């Protein structure tokens, strides 16, 4: 029962809204929690016990942190965080590490072998585990008051709209609205419906239409020329953005119907002028989580402070700052790569951005000098366009490795792009790709243009839905009907299309 399924949109969500409104205000959290656990059970069955157990551990640790003091508080916090990370690591990464250990053992002639386990991770484990860790650390830091009501904490960790793909909310972001239990309001339902259909447009009209040819090329990249592989990298980047941001629209729209404002997860990432800015606009809540709970603690750690003090005297401010930045960014991007999945290409993906962002900071003074000497006005459109184009190249390359079937496949695809980038025979290659015709290409292009226009309006004016609400009634409803019929008529479903699973639900 994925967020874009008929079962969710026409049965589960409406029924939950109905029962929520019928429930006395005091007990509405029970309705939401029951619906959340039913949705979880529909995907992971008896693994629901893991979510309940993790919630119980988080709740108990929070109460303990409130009661104890001194060094014991830190011990309680560390034990809880270690247990949460251990559960995630075992279910998602145990077989990956064992496989690599056995490979190294075999290469070195050792007879030691570890046994692989048949493991199944609960749906969305990476998302609510980070929320639980964030909650515990915030209680430890005394940024929030401990939640004494087990049901309310359970709802925070398992709220059904964000159960599978986030966004990763901090307790202070949503706790008040989750506990308010306000009546269903027409304006919230209307806003939620528009966001849901906008998400369906991005997911079903664009992302799902791109999925089949993109998968075909990545799975058999040896059969295609370098230019086709480059197009596949661009296509996958578009697919991933439309899929993930579209799902976030559905999630945020679903939450808003209950009066819960979930945090935004994207802010026009393709308008970024460098890699750092891209990650401030892409998967925003994950970036905020890493910045809050890894980057800041690392930057204030004893080791980093000692290095900063020593290196500033020994090597000067520039070397000290770059070294400090490297020490604080490395754990962030290592965790970012590992969080996305148990494969070397994901770890490489994290290190790829670590190197690029660090290199960008290292050459920033040189770049500034060059810009000043050449009297370049960085506010001019041509310069900003060049910076955005450079960032697109970085993004497309990174997403190629992200999607490739292994790290070696990623390097092979890059090699093919460099040595076999020719447009001769391009029409034949494109003709051999499944489900690629002029109509599909035209729909994707028009869809991307519409998304880009909406993104530009949002960048300049803020919330687009609010802007639509200010339009005259006939114009407003023309937009609504155009959106609905675009999904119904041009959505990639039915005969000739296979159901495409949510990409980030697998992370």
Greater model confidence, 310 or 20: 20
Residue 428's pLDDT is: 67
Instruction: Please tell me the least confidently modeled range out of 205-214, 308-317, 444-453.
Output: 308-317
146-150, 490-494, 500-504: which is most confident: 146-150
How far is Cα 196 from Cα 214, in angstroms, rounded to an integer? 25
CA angle, 364 then 368 then 372, to 5°: 175
Closest C-alpha among 32, 50, 273 to residue 162:
32
Mean pLDDT, residues 308-317 taken together:
87
Query: Residues 172, 446: contact at Cβ < 8 Å?
Result: no
3-class SS letters over 186-242: HHHHHHHHHHHHHHHHHHHHHHHHHHHHHHHHHHCHHHCCHHHHHHHHHHHHHHHHH
Q: Once rounded to an integer, what is the mean pLDDT over residues 303-313?
A: 88
Q: What is the DSSP string of 147-163?
A: P--HHHHHHHHH-GGGT
Least confident stretch, 245-249, 267-271, 430-434: 430-434
How many Å apart are CA 256 and CA 262, to the nearest integer?
Answer: 8
Q: What is the pLDDT of residue 153?
A: 96
Residue 272 above 90 pLDDT? yes
Confidence of residue 495 (pLDDT cuts 50, 70, 90): low
Res 279: pLDDT: 94
- CA 44 centroid distance within chain: 21
- Token readout for 423 is 């447009």
278 pLDDT above the threshold of 70: yes
Mean pLDDT along residues 155-179: 92
pLDDT of residue 438: 79
The neighbour count for residue 270, using CB atoms within 10 Å, is 18
Q: Enter the tokens of residue 340.
A: 């996305």
In the three-class reduction of DSSP (H, G, I as helix; E, B as strand; rest coil), residue 423 is classed as coil
Q: What percent of the chain has pLDDT over 90?
A: 63
| Residues 10-42: tens digit of each pLDDT | 999 999 999 999 999 999 999 999 999 999 999
User: Are 226 and 417 in contact, with CB atoms under 8 Å apart?
Assistant: yes
Residue-level pLDDT at 391:
96
**How confident is residue 183, by pLDDT bands cut at 50, 70 and 90?**
very high
For the stretch 337-395, pLDDT in tens is: 999 988 999 999 999 999 999 999 999 989 888 888 888 888 888 889 999 999 999 99
What is the Cα–Cα distance from 257 to 192, expressed in whole angstroms? 5
Positive or negative CA dihedral for 154, 160, 162, 165? positive
| Higher pLDDT, residue 6 or 129 | 129
pLDDT of residue 418: 86
Q: What does the alpha-carbon distance between residue 169 and residue 171 come to, in Å, rounded to a whole number? A: 6
Q: What is the mean pLDDT of residues 416-430?
A: 74
Q: Quote the pLDDT of residue 425.
A: 61
Across the range 60-71, mean pLDDT stands at: 92
Q: What letter does residue 283 receive in the DSSP assignment?
A: S
Q: What's the predicted TM-score (pTM) here?
A: 0.92
Which residues, other chains included, contact 496 with Cβ-Cβ below 8 Å and sequence gap of 6+? 435
**What pLDDT, on the 0 to 100 scale, is given for residue 457?**
83
Task: Report the greatest alpha carbon distance in the chain.
Answer: 76
**pLDDT of residue 436 exceeding 70:** no
Residue written as token pair 């890493």:
290
CA gap 418, 412 in Å, rounded = 10
In tens, the pLDDT along 117-154 reads 888 889 889 999 999 999 999 999 999 999 999 999 99
**In terms of pLDDT, which residue wins out, 438 or 116?**
116
The mean predicted confidence, pLDDT, of the chain is 90
Q: Which range in 318-322, 372-376, 446-450 is most confidently predicted, on average pLDDT?
A: 446-450
């Amino acid at each position: 029962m994925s967020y874009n399924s008929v079962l969710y949109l026409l049965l589960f969500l409406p029924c939950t809204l109905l029962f929520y409104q019928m429930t006395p205000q005091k007990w509405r959290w029970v309705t939401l929690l029951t619906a959340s656990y039913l949705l979880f059970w529909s995907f992971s069955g008896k693994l629901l016990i893991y979510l309940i157990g993790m919630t119980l551990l988080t709740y108990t640790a929070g109460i303990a942190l409130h009661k104890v003091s001194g060094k014991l508080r830190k011990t309680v916090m560390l034990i809880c965080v270690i247990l949460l990370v251990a559960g995630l690591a075992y279910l998602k990464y145990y077989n990956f590490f064992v496989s690599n250990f056995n490979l190294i053992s075999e290469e070195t002639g050792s007879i030691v072998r570890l046994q692989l386990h048949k493991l199944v991770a609960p749906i969305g484990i990476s998302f609510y585990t980070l929320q639980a860790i964030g909650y515990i650390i915030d209680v430890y830091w005394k940024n929030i008051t401990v939640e004494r009501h087990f049901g309310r904490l359970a709802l925070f960790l398992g709220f059904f709209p964000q159960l599978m793909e986030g966004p990763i909310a901090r307790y202070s972001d949503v706790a008040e609205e989750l506990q308010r239990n306000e009546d269903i309001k027409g304006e919230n339902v209307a806003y939620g419906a528009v966001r849901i259909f906008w998400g369906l447009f991005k997911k079903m009209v664009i992302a799902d239409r791109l999925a089949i040819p993109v998968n075909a090329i990545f799975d058999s990249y040896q059969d295609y020329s370098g230019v086709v592989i480059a197009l596949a990298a661009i296509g996958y980047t578009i697919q991933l953005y439309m899929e993930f941001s579209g799902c976030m629209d559905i999630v945020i729209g679903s939450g808003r119907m209950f009066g819960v404002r979930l945090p935004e997860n994207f802010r026009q990432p393709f308008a970024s002028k460098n890699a750092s800015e891209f990650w401030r606009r892409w998967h925003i809540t994950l970036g905020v989580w890493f910045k809050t709970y890894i980057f800041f603690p690392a930057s204030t750690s004893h080791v980093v402070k000692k290095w900063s003090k020593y290196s500033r005297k020994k090597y000067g401010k520039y070397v000290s700052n770059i070294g400090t930045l490297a020490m604080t960014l490395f754990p962030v991007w290592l965790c970012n790569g590992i969080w996305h999945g148990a494969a070397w290409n994901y770890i490489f993906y994290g290190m790829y951005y670590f190197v690029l962002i660090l290199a960008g900071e290292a050459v920033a003074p040189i770049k500034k000098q060059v810009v000043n000497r050449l009297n370049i006005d960085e506010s001019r459109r041509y310069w900003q366009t060049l910076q955005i184009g450079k960032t697109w190249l970085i993004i497309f390359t990174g997403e190629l490795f992200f999607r490739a079937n292994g790290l070696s496949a990623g390097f092979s695809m890059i090699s093919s792009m460099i040595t076999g980038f020719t447009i001769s025979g391009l029409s034949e290659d494109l003709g051999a790709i499944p489900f690629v015709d002029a109509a599909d290409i035209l729909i994707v292009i028009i869809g991307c243009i519409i998304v880009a226009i909406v993104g530009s309006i949002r960048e300049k004016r803020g919330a687009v839905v609010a802007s639509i609400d200010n339009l005259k009634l006939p114009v407003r409803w023309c937009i609504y009907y155009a959106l609905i019929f675009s999904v119904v008529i041009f959505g990639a479903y039915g005969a000739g299309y296979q159901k495409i699973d949510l990409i980030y639900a697998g992370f």
